[in-house]
Amino acid sequence: MSSTAGLVIPCKAAVAWEAGKPLVIEQVEVAPPQTLEVRVKIKYTTLCRTDFYFWEAKGSTATQLFPRIFGHEAAGIVESIGEGVTDFQVGDHVLPVFTGECGECRHCKSEESNMCDLLRMNPIRGVMLNDGKSRFSLNGNPINHFIGTSTFSEYTVVHSGCLVKINPLAPLDKACILSCGVSTGLGATLNVAKPKKGSTVAVFGLGAVGLAAAEGARIAGASRIIGIGRNPSKFEEAKKFGVTDFVNPKDHDRPIQEVIKEMTDGGVDRSIECTGNVDVMISAFECVHDGWGVAVLCGVPSRDAVFMTKPINLLNERTLKGTFFGNYKPKSDLPSVVDMYMNQELDLDKFITHRVSFSEINKAFELMQKGEGLRCIISMEE
């Protein structure tokens, strides 16, 4: 048992007081974990586009909960456990994950789904499931949680079903990026698109998720990986992830799916869409080859977005699929993804383009706002 178990821990956290305003490093109090909860000392965290989106608060007013502690891509060490927790011990190396695995619901018991009924991502909820209260407070006032993780704090409390125990030899400053974006793109390719060796793959969007999808295609042995994006400055970097061809829609005066079909004698074998733009989704679907082509959507559109395509595209034996978190069940599957890195099958280092100290966390937001880099590692102890 740790010396702080059962006690309130004062620590630093980056608090978002208002939408779009710089985070403020505050001294907050973190309550002990309750039933089926775990308190984690965060060692490293990163900024993901999802944090940025809800920080900007340009979506539904229901998700605009402030003050709030953001953050969901991270790695840390278990500080203490709550009642009923049997699968973690103090000192375990862990990844908090925004979507969980209760192990009991229909989705968790299904081999085909990772969308846990109990612990599915919920950006509207700012409290813990157990008692509907926050574990964070400042001067006696509660601070909202974010998607069950809130890793922009030196300590956080998460449901045990949203925590993944990993190989203690894995460097936490690398493993932390597997908590969301990289696993989403990697799994979209390896678990859902499933390209065969020698196949052609198109990846739409060359951010961290898209390049992780390309990395998945490289690992699967694709012979040709076509990257589609509007920022030519990303093309050189994408070569590190196995991308062999680049297409910029701004260079063409016809639908990009027609360009890709012409390049590939009728269409690619697999495509992965990583932008969330509905027009791009149409292109990703319509660029796959008839008879066997599979398109996978993993970009997140607005809730009310709609796209149209001709039914004949489906009748001609093209397949359209969607995926959530790359179809990985967090607790069951992520340890093996960490092992892929440890076995040098997956290169995480090339995703890490910047590093900052926790006190400089707003620099990570500035980099994302400018569209610079892929992942910025935030060290909690610097």
Nearest-CA neighbor of 161 among 347, 305, 37, 65? 37
Q: Where in the chain are the domains?
A: 9-177+348-379, 185-324
Predicted confidence band at 61 (pLDDT cuts at 50, 70, 90)? Answer: confident
Is residue 65 within 8 A of residue 134, CB to CB? The reply is: no
**Integer Cα distance of 124 and 143 in angstroms:** 14
Q: How far is CA 54 from CA 60, 195, 349, in A?
A: 9, 33, 27
Nearest-CA neighbor of 334 among 326, 324, 345, 322? 326
pLDDT for 219-233, tens place per residue? Answer: 999 999 999 999 999
- Please state the rounded mean pLDDT for residues 363-378: 95
- Element (DSSP H or E) covering residue 55: helix 49-56
Average pLDDT, the chain: 96
What's the pLDDT score for residue 1?
62
pLDDT for 238-283, tens place per residue? Answer: 999 999 999 999 999 999 999 999 999 999 999 999 999 999 999 9
- For residue 164, the cross-strand partners are 95
CA 3 to chain centre: 33
Q: What is the dihedral of CA 191, 195, 196, 201, to 10 degrees?
A: -160
pLDDT for 20-58, tens place per residue? Answer: 999 999 999 999 999 999 999 999 999 999 999 999 987
What's the pLDDT score for residue 180?
97
- Please state the rounded mean pLDDT for residues 188-212: 98
- For residue 144, the cross-strand partners are 68
**Does residue 130 register a pLDDT over 90?**
yes
> Which token pair is 135?
């574990």
105 vs 58: which has the higher pLDDT: 105
Is residue 170 within 8 A of residue 338, CB to CB? The reply is: yes
What's the pLDDT score for residue 133?
98
Q: What is the dihedral of CA 67, 71, 77, 79, to 10 degrees?
A: 10
What's the pLDDT score for residue 345?
97
Q: Can you tell me whether residue 197 is helix, strand or coil?
A: coil
- Please state the rounded mean pLDDT for residues 107-136: 96
Predicted confidence band at 304 (pLDDT cuts at 50, 70, 90)? Answer: confident
**Integer Cα distance of 157 and 143 in angstroms:** 13
What's the pLDDT score for residue 43?
98
> Which token pair is 326?
């790359």
**Integer Cα distance of 113 and 76 in angstroms:** 27
CATH architecture of 185-324: 3-Layer(aba) Sandwich (3.40)
Is residue 127 within 8 A of residue 134, CB to CB? The reply is: yes
Regarding the domain delimited by 9-177+348-379, which CATH topology (the fold level of the hierarchy) does it fall under?
Quinone Oxidoreductase; Chain A, domain 1 (3.90.180)
- Separation of first and last alpha carbons in the chain: 26
CA 156 to chain centre: 18
Helix 278-286 × helix 256-263 angle, to 10°: 30
- Please state the rounded mean pLDDT for residues 284-303: 95
**Does residue 2 register a pLDDT over 80?**
no
**Integer Cα distance of 119 and 278 in angstroms:** 27
What's the pLDDT score for residue 100?
97
Say if 9-177+348-379 and 185-324 have the same CATH topology: no
**Does residue 216 register a pLDDT over 90?**
yes
Answer yes or no: pTM beyond 0.85.
Answer: yes
